Structure formats: structure tokens, C-alpha cells
Chains A and B, each alone.
Chain A
Amino acid sequence: MKKHIDDLNEIRSMMERSSRFISLSGLSGIFPGIFALIGAFFAYQRVSENDGSAYLNLSSNTDLLAYLVKDGLLVLFFSLIFAFYFTARQAKKQGVSLWGSTSKRLLFNMALPLVTGGLFCIILLMQAPHLVDAATLVFYGLAVINASKYTFDDIRYLGYVEVVLGLLCGFMDEWRLGILFWALGFGVAHIVYGIVMYKKYDSR
């Protein structure tokens, strides 16, 4: 009888392993979170050099805008490198190939809303740059929710948090709140998520 229970467990695990990419490491959340907080700190420093009104009128303050875009791109760059490194390490530990059908499916489904959002943010940069912070959070959240079907289901909660923060952020036009929400969404939420995931899955 034990054999039948083992069989069922085996079936469940095979279905799971072959349809979801389960090599995301919690550390891939923690490090980008830390970089986001550092980036938000520099953005805050730079914006508060003048009274903050420049932030609400970014289209005519191109110096500030360029600084913020560079700041954001640096955060993105380091986050991707660290996220990639820890995911690759986890995949190696589990003996799963990093570039298999599950990871391809995950990347594609994550990229769909993310690339759309990225392009939309470029439009916003030209038309209404003060909404970029809200838009990045909303689209990133939707991308994460979409991706949750192809990896650990738990990451959908991270997505919900990002979307809610993004919408709240869009309602506020106080610049300090914009940066605060950004730091909460990309910084704190990622660190909390990373720690939870690390405890739940990495130690296995």
C-alpha cells in the first residue's frame, strides 16, 4: 500500500517539476530589494536638493530626469545580475537545467506584461514622467502575477502588493510619497518576499 502512496507522490512531483520552474532562489529577491533601497536613497537625495517641485515637472528638468533614469537603470542592471546568479546557482544545486522549457515559459510569460510596461513607461517619460513610478510598480506586479502560474504559486502575493502600491502611488502627487512607494514596492516587498521564500524553499 505504501507503494501506491509513493506512486501518487511521484506523480504529483513530476507534474509540478515538469510544468513549473522551481529554481528561483529567495536570495534572488533579497539582493534586488537591497539595490532598490540604495537606488531610492540616491533618488531621494538628488530630488531633495531643490524643493522637490522639480520632480513634479520632470519634462522641463531634464538633468534631474536623466539622473533618475540612470539611477533606475543601474538598480535594474545589478538586480538582474544578482537574480540571475542566485537562480543559476539554485538550478545547479537541484540538477535542473537553467535554460529548459519551464524557465523559457516563465521568462516569456513574465516578459509579456513587463516589456509592454517598459514601452509604456517610455511613452510616459515623454508625456507624463511623474507617473512612471506608479506605472513601473503596476506593470511589474501584473508581470509577477502572470509569472506565478509558471513558478512557485506564492509569488502572486508579491504581485498583488506591487499592483496595490503602484495604484496608491499613482493617486499621490507628493514626490516624497512616490519615492517612498517605489522603495516599499521594489525594496521592502522584495526583501520580505525573498526572506519568506528562502526559508520556505531554499533550505529544502
Chain B
Amino acid sequence: MKNLIAGINKSFENRIRLGIMSILMVNDWVDFGELKETLGVTDGNLASHITALEKEKYIQVRKAFIGKKPNTSFQATSEGKQAFQAHLNALEALIKGM
């Protein structure tokens, strides 16, 4: 049991971070507004979790302008995808091991 828990990544413990990573696993670049809408969270809440994931280098940020409006998009890094996949495997193993 101890080994199984070792695979669980603390960075993904939070529901919102889990959501952000899930979305970025199956989409290329996703902008802030879309993430917010899909997850149904507030700006501040989303921003703080994004910062945390960014700090871990699990996601990367791209700032651009659409017309005059600033637009920030996010993409999962290969490091982030690997870490998330490992986390998923650990979750699955845990549930099967019950």
C-alpha cells in the first residue's frame, strides 16, 4: 500500500488542478476564459492554481493579443503530461488494489 501512495502527486491533489491538467491533456493551447468556463471557477481561484502548476513547470504560458485584448493561453509541458499520467496510473492502481 505504501508504494501505491508514493505515486500520488501532491501537485494534483486539488480538484481544480486536476481539472486544468485533464483539459490540457486532450487539447493543445487553451485560453484562460475557456478553462474558467469549463471548470466553473472564479478568476482568482483559477489564477492561483495555474501559478502553482506553472511553478512546477507542468504547464507553460503564452501571452498574445487578439486585436487589442490580451489573451493568455496554456499548454501542458511534456513533463506535466508525464507527471499527470503517472498520477493517473497511481490512482487507478490504488482503486484496483482495494
Contact = CB atoms under 8 A, between A and B. Distances in A.
Interface of A: 1, 4-5, 7-8, 10-12, 14-15, 17-19, 95-97, 100-101
Interface of B: 15, 18-19, 22-23, 25-27, 30, 34, 37-40, 88, 91-92, 94-95, 98
A19 B18 contact: no
Given A4-B95, A8-B91, A18-B26, A95 B40 contact: yes
Nearest to B8: A4
B10 to A, nearest CB: 13
B74 to A, nearest CB: 12
Q: Closest 3 CB pairs between A and B?
A: A14-B22, A18-B23, A19-B26
Contacts of B19: 10-11, 14
Contacts of A10: 15, 18-19, 22
Contacts of A4: 91, 94-95
8 contacts: A4-B91, A10-B18, A11-B19, A11-B88, A18-B27, A18-B34, A100-B34, A101-B30
Nearest to A105: B27
Contacts of A15: 22-23, 25-26
Given A4-B94, A14-B18, A95-B40, 16 more contacts: A1-B94, A1-B98, A7-B15, A7-B91, A8-B91, A10-B15, A11-B22, A12-B22, A14-B38, A14-B39, A18-B27, A18-B30, A19-B27, A96-B37, A97-B37, A100-B34
Contacts of B23: 14-15, 18
B34 A101 contact: yes
A101 B19 CA distance: 17
Residue of B25, B38, B91, B94 contacting most chain A CB atoms (<10 Å): B38
Contacts of B91: 4, 7-8
A151 to B, nearest CB: 14
Nearest to B23: A18
Contacts of A12: 22
Contacts of B39: 14
A100 B37 contact: yes
A67 to B, nearest CB: 46
A11 B40 CA distance: 14
A76 to B, nearest CB: 31
Contacts of A95: 40
Contacts of B92: 8
Given A97-B37, A101-B30, A18 B22 contact: yes
A100 B27 CA distance: 13
